[in-house]
Amino acid sequence: MDYRICSFTGLKIHKTAEDLIKWNVVTAILFLALGGFMALLVALTRWPSVHYLGPANYYRFLTLHGFDALLLWILFFEVALVHFTSAVLLNTRVVAPFSAWIAYALMLVGAVFVNIVTFAGKADVLFTSYVPLKANGVYYLGVIIFAVGALTAFGNFFANIIQARRDKAYKHTLPLGTYGLAAASIIGVVTLAHGAVIMIPVFFWSIDLIKYIDPATYRLIFWGLGHSSQQINVCAMVAMWYMAAAFVLGAKPVNEKLSRTAFVLYILFINVASEHHLLVDPVLSNWHKIVNTGYMMHLAVLASMIHAFAIPASMEVALRNKGYTKGLFDWLKNAPWGNPAFSATFLSIIGFGFLGGITGVIFGTEQFNIIRHNTFAITGHFHGTVVSGTTTAFMGGTYLLIPYIFRRELVLPKLATIQPYLYAIGVAMFAISMMAAGSYGVPRRHWDITFSNAIFSFSFDPSIDIFLSMMGVGALLAVLGGVIFIIVSLGSIVFGKKTS
């Protein structure tokens, strides 16, 4: 077997695992670059004084932005974490390398199919692709191929764990990082099963082999895929938080059993809570909505609250053990804020909690949802979770993987130091501005909020112009932070000084 010992962590790294992580991380970053570029175009269009794109291109690039940034960047990175937490963290090997590479190839082929057909203008259906909006069959085929690849990758994760157990690579239970990815993989399998149930019939519908798809059934099952896939992200992000705290500070969970229980809460309740997307949908009964979003959702939120306090607490304990014990916040003052892996992790926790978490609970309440549904506030909320939370955490993860897996030093270290702050401030600014504009009723997704050719005229409160302009400035800052991340990460991978 071809192994090496990591000079930073002491972990035994299987060559195939290393290669798989490298390819998945680089592919993820390239799709982040593409999705980020689309984000810039979309944000410049929602900025009223710029209003850059025409309607066709706006919806086309919004579809691509959703697919590339929300699905491809995040899932390719998660598959890198799948290999890292199973093969590397457990000091074992990739059991089925051929299957792992097939998984990567399928995901890439699916991703390319979707990008090409959308760029060609044959799939302007947005991320949700709500029936009866119909895209070219290649779009749905691409989604299915990508999903099969991701499912195969999650299968590889479980195979590696079984092998590690046989090799006695771990004694009693899985390390918390691996445990978190196990939760992500279980949710992943459930999510992709929903995807298969709905996307395969829709593919046949798109090529006229099936005549009718019930839109209400589509919406319900789509969110079993669409929202649950975000729960894979949440689990992987939280696992990344635990790993970053452990690698950077040597932090140990303050109560490991509690943290594990919180991951189990995600598995049990977070998928059911995905019904909050349908709170204003007349098809579902109130009983259904209340049980799901009044009870189930809060059990999943409880899990996030446990993690969001357990991880800073573990950081505090680790820093206090290093001697920073003066007062309440000496540990915080002396934390390694210049290390981008740490700062990105901490900013991710704050952003996810304050921006995404609080607003998620509020907008997921039936009575509040009725005034916020389909407004720009919802877009602000999920940029608080997925961008401020997951993307920032994965950026921090990349800064760790560059020395550990790519065996390179960071190029432009000063830029790398400021990057997480620039990105987090930009994202916070545009997410808060979106929520403020949405509070005045500004719709999400809509190209023309002046409703210029509508039969009835309508104008919003003039203050929305300030919020939408602030959103534009925040988006520019975030894009600048994103560009710096791509330059530093890809630059380090290609030109960085070798570490060993």
Residues that bind other proteins (CB under 8 A): 254, 308-309, 312-314, 316-317, 320, 328-329, 331-332, 353-354, 358-359, 361-362, 367-368, 371, 439
To the nearest whole angstrom, how small is the minimum distance from the Cβ of residue 400 to other proteins? 23
Cβ neighbors of 443 (< 8 A, separation 6 or more) are 374, 375, 376, 449
Q: Under DSSP, is residue 174 helix (H, G, I), strand (E, B) or coil?
A: coil
CB of 314 to other proteins, least distance (A): 8
The residue among 308 and 402 lying less far from other proteins, judged by its C-beta, is 308
125: helix, strand or coil = coil
Query: What residue has token string 């991978």?
Result: 493
Report the amino acid identity of residue 320.
R
Nearer of residues 133 and 371 to other proteins, judged by Cβ? 371
Residue 38 CA to residue 194 CA, distance in Å, equals: 28
Which residue, 332 or 415, is less far from other proteins as judged by CB? 332
Nearest CB to other proteins, comparing residues 309 and 421: 309
DSSP string, 230-280: HHHHHHHHHHHHHHHHHHHH----SSHHHHHHHHHHIIIIITGGGGGGGTT
Beta carbon of residue 429, minimum distance to other proteins (angstroms, whole number): 17
- Cα gap 303→370, rounded to integer Å: 26
Token readout for 141 is 């085929």
Q: Which amino acid is at 289?
A: K
Specify whether the CB–CB gap between 282 and 219 falls below 8 A: no
- Nearer to other proteins among residue 195 and residue 312 (C-beta): 312
Q: Shortest distance, CB of residue 43 to other proteins, whole angstroms?
A: 24
Least distance in Å: CB of 341 to other proteins? 20
Q: Which is nearer to other proteins, 245 or 411 (CB)?
A: 245
Instruction: Tell me which residue of 391, 367, 389 sits closest to 71, measured CA to CA.
Output: 391
In the bound complex, what is the minimum distance in angstroms from residue 300's beta carbon to other proteins? 16
At closest approach, how far in Å is the CB of 354 from other proteins?
A: 6
Q: Supply the minimum distance, in Å, between the C-beta of residue 301 and other proteins.
A: 11
Q: How far is the CB of 470 from other proteins (least distance, A)?
A: 18
Between 354 and 451, whose beta carbon lies closer to other proteins? 354
The secondary structure of residue 203, as a DSSP letter, is H
CA distance 446 to 373: 14
**Residue 131 CA neighbour count, 13 Å, CB half:** 23
Cβ pair 407, 454 in contact under 8 A? no
C-alpha span between 347 and 79 (Å, rounded): 23
C-alpha distance across the termini of the chain, in Å: 20
Q: Which residue type does 84 have?
A: F
| Least distance between other proteins and beta carbon 365 (Å) | 9
| Nearer CB in complex with other proteins: 70/377 | 377
Tokens encoding 270: 């977070």
Distances (CA, A) of 156 to 94, 152, 205, 479: 8, 6, 32, 34
- For residue 13, give the H/E element and its range: strand 12-14
Neighbours of 254 (CB within 10 A): 17
For other proteins, the closer CB: 220 or 262: 262
CB of 267 to other proteins, least distance (A): 24
CB of 313 to other proteins, least distance (A): 4
Alpha-carbon distance values, 196 to 36, 203, 284, 428 (Å): 28, 10, 22, 35
For other proteins, give the closer residue by CB, 7 or 261.
Answer: 261
Question: CB-wise, 295 or 329, nearer to other proteins?
Answer: 329
Q: Which is nearer to other proteins, 188 or 253 (CB)?
A: 253
Do 228 and 191 touch, CB atoms closer than 8 A? yes
In single-letter form, the type of residue at position 454 comes to: A
